[in-house]
Structure 1
């Protein structure tokens, strides 16, 4: 059995495909210089197979959840500006840049591959196979996020021969190796294979901190999202429904207008709590996203507030908890994730920011199922899911006043097409409910939603730029370091 230490586990990330530096991500990793000769050590390694970088900033700024707040008392952030303007984002090392996210996900993939190899080379029994299942799921998740952000979206019943991202399935033991991007279709085939085998293998798995690992609920939520992207709607319904087999989704949704509202300034800690059923998979990530998006010129402002607090087809807006950075109206800060800090060195004034982010929630899974029901023509079931979702988010909910019906949908969206109206309802609910969670950009990308960004000059003159359905800027550019290693860049 070869010795696997943390340095050769990340050799891929540092020496081959990535050619970058993300040392700070490994400062808190467990010391894996001993042999992976027990399933427990494999489990320890898999702690590092989850994201520690943040895609929220560049994804949210590229979406229509953000706005140019104009010249004034705002800070500037290159990542926020470039993402908002749909330019190639500066190749900086901040943990919330596309470059760092790419690096971090391949680091996670490398850890997963070493874990899989260790299990395959040893007889670790049932526990070893369960950890292999977890490793397969983390590998599939990392690749799915990468292909969703750095490649053209999967085209349901369409052409998926466009460039994907390298799908890595074996540990890297050479310093340099040629990689191929493959196609979006081939990447999806690999993801599906890993996903299905991972779900099969983790049956009965237990963890000390289950919400920070691919437990069975999280695996089913991932499958529901994956098959939504593929357009296999019966499978979306199957896997989403398996999260809560008693079909008691409503009792396990975020109590936005209930307990979370009552928590007030403590709501971020409750929102990201590992003790809450609505959180299916959590991750510790380096991020100060909420403050950056609020304080920067490009980010969350009054225009964002109008979107998330606007009226809904239910006849009343969703309750939203937010504050204003420095008390300034156009510096909107959504109270979702707690912010923590630490100093690695007591003699420095540099603080490291981190938070707990939710990668999969019961709320998203329910909306994915509602969309699947719509696409299978089961409008009654879709309405049931939408009403359950609205009930926990509307303050003072009254079924007599706020129940969503087909007639209300047709009237609110001024359409005679109930399918189109229900899809608009799902997209509207998701944008309002999941603002600052990175989900809106994934929907914009996969559905080809056209959005516009306003731009203000020094005289406050306003122009608008539209991101059309076929705009090549919908795909984030792969890092320059990866391109230098031979990977072809995304066309512009």
Structure 2
């Protein structure tokens, strides 16, 4: 039921080829596919596609190298992925992406070449289900079952033959640094401080380390899909807004989205507020 990452990695590293294979309806991993009016296929495509703003606010190399795709992980580095991330850098853009979302055009006027940008989005996948089950096992403290699911996901997406156990996971994550633990509170690292509204064991515990692994794998699995936001909300992960220098490194913290920040709540629609319902605070 899992995606054939080895087959995807054998394809030419071309956005159209890989992304269309990723959302192929014949893949058992794609349990539910949606089409959407979206520029995601351009933004998370190659080179300068998507324009200045899309490149400026994309997934940059600093984040990739220190937090997810190109960071040293429990399975090794980015060379372990069957499908390597694509990296683009120039004077006016810097981004590292996986070719997951295709770019399609719905033409309204074929002569004038006008219409709507579209993409196909895998809204429900076997891999996400597997990681959701791993998280449930961690919360139940059935760590061996969680480790088995994490191993299955890891060995399918990467070339790693390592077998994860609760102890192997704890040994690795206890040595990893937390994000924003430097004096300025801006440096990235592999794991984040977790502040959920529900109870979990202390930092450094087997449960917390297993959750770090689950959330790290979920971040890789769902990157470019917008699902990271639900993990950020669920676990009260605090996110600073950082000013980056010309070398692409953070130099200044300008704001922080704290765990109880009212901006975490999605605003009530305007027409509902117009009908008299009080707006969420900002």
Q: Which position in structure 1 is the counterpart of 2:35?
A: 284
TM-score in terms of structure 1 length: 0.44
SS of the residue 2:120 aligns to = strand
Mapping of 1:91-106 within 5 angstroms? none
- Is contact 2:70-2:77 (8 Å) kept? no
Q: Cα offset for 1:309?
A: 2.0
- Is contact 1:309-1:432 (8 Å) kept? no
Q: Which position in structure 1 is the counterpart of 2:11?
A: 263
Q: Which position in structure 1 is the counterpart of 2:70?
A: 309
Q: Cα offset for 1:390?
A: 0.3
Unpaired segments ≥5 residues, structure 1: 1-251
Q: Which position in structure 1 is the counterpart of 2:131?
A: 367
- Is contact 2:41-2:119 (8 Å) kept? no
Q: Which position in structure 2 is the counterpart of 1:213?
A: none
1:336-388 CA-partner distances (Å, limit 9, x unpaired): 01111132023534331111101110000000000101111211110100000
Shift in alpha-carbon separation, 1:280–1:327, aligned structure 2, 3 A? farther
In the aligned structure 1, how far is the partner of 2:119 from the partner of 2:220?
22
Q: Cα offset for 1:464?
A: 4.3
In the aligned structure 1, how far is the partner of 2:76 from the partner of 2:59?
25
- Is contact 2:69-2:85 (8 Å) kept? no
Q: Which position in structure 2 is the counterpart of 1:484?
A: 274
SS of the residue 1:421 aligns to = helix
- Is contact 1:308-1:431 (8 Å) kept? no
In the aligned structure 2, how far is the partner of 1:478 from the partner of 1:350?
33
- Is contact 1:454-1:464 (8 Å) kept? yes
In the aligned structure 1, how far is the partner of 2:245 from the partner of 2:9?
38
In the aligned structure 2, how far is the partner of 1:474 from the partner of 1:426?
22
- Is contact 1:284-1:357 (8 Å) kept? yes
Q: Cα offset for 1:263?
A: 1.9
1:212-234 CA-partner distances (Å, limit 9, x unpaired): xxxxxxxxxxxxxxxxxxxxxxx
- Is contact 2:42-2:103 (8 Å) kept? no
Larger radius of gyration between Structure 1 and Structure 2: 1
In the aligned structure 2, how far is the partner of 1:292 from the partner of 1:279?
22
Residue 110 (structure 2) pairs with residue 341 (structure 1):
no
Q: Cα offset for 1:325?
A: 5.7
SS of the residue 1:435 aligns to = coil
Q: Which position in structure 1 is the counterpart of 2:187?
A: none
- Is contact 1:308-1:435 (8 Å) kept? no
In the aligned structure 1, how far is the partner of 2:262 from the partner of 2:84?
35
Q: Cα offset for 1:456?
A: 4.5
Q: Cα offset for 1:410?
A: 1.7
Shift in alpha-carbon separation, 1:324–1:291, aligned structure 2, 3 A? farther
In the aligned structure 2, how far is the partner of 1:374 from the partner of 1:333?
29
TM-score in terms of structure 2 length: 0.75
Q: Which position in structure 2 is the counterpart of 1:273?
A: 24
CA-based RMSD of the aligned residues comes to 2.5
In the aligned structure 1, how far is the partner of 2:214 from the partner of 2:231?
11
- Is contact 2:31-2:126 (8 Å) kept? yes
Q: Cα offset for 1:291?
A: 2.7
Q: Cα offset for 1:490?
A: 1.2
Q: Cα offset for 1:477?
A: 1.9
Q: Which position in structure 2 is the counterpart of 1:472?
A: 262
In the aligned structure 2, how far is the partner of 1:481 from the partner of 1:457?
41
In the aligned structure 1, how far is the partner of 2:151 from the partner of 2:206?
16
SS of the residue 1:330 aligns to = strand
Q: Cα offset for 1:475?
A: 1.6
Q: Cα offset for 1:440?
A: 0.7
- Return the structure number with greater helix share: 1
SS of the residue 2:109 aligns to = coil
1:103-142 CA-partner distances (Å, limit 9, x unpaired): xxxxxxxxxxxxxxxxxxxxxxxxxxxxxxxxxxxxxxxx
Q: Cα offset for 1:487?
A: 3.4
Equivalent pairs counted in the alignment come to 235
